[in-house]
């Protein structure tokens, strides 16, 4: 567990967690997918670090079997998770807040009034 924590800590430092502007390489890795923008910051055989941006009202595609991960809110936000069994979960984020997320399958929706930005660290 300590080794995994160290990997996550290094990944956070490598991404310049607190507002580092995107480099040309990061911009080249950006993609727009079904209502959200995703920019991969670091990816290798051990970790994937990316930033997601959701405009108000936008939804992600259904995400199946998302691995366990650490999520960091870059901005305040109000998100809603839609699960395959029809249940929903509202999640309120404050800028700078970090949360652990267990593996899950769901679709995300920005139900807030402003763009929501989040950085995610997934161990492989």
**Alpha carbon of 26 to those of 47, 71, 104, 123: distances in Å?**
16, 19, 27, 19
Rounded Cα distance, 101 and 21, in Å: 26
When pLDDT is averaged across residues 98-116 and rounded to a whole number, the result is 95
- DSSP annotation of 60: P
Q: Per-residue pLDDT tens for 39-79?
A: 999 999 999 999 999 999 999 888 887 899 999 999 999 99
- Please say whether the beta carbons of 62 and 106 come within 8 A: yes
Lowest mean pLDDT among 1-5, 14-18, 102-106: 14-18
Q: Can you list the domains of the chain with their CATH numbers?
A: 2-123 (2.60.120.10)
Measuring CA to CA, how many Å separate 48 from each of 87, 113, 119, 120? Answer: 28, 29, 10, 8
């Amino acid at each position: 567990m300590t080794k995994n924590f160290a990997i996550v800590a290094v990944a956070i430092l490598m991404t310049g967690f607190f507002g580092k502007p995107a480099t040309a390489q990061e911009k080249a890795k950006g993609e727009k997918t079904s209502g959200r923008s995703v920019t991969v910051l670091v990816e290798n055989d051990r970790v994937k670090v990316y930033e997601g941006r959701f405009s108000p009202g936008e939804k992600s595609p259904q995400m199946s079997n998302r691995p366990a991960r650490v999520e960091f809110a870059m901005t305040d936000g109000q998100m809603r998770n839609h699960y395959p069994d029809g249940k929903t979960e509202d999640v309120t984020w404050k800028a700078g807040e970090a949360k652990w997320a267990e593996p899950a399958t769901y679709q995300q929706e920005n139900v807030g009034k402003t763009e929501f930005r989040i950085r995610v660290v997934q161990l492989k």
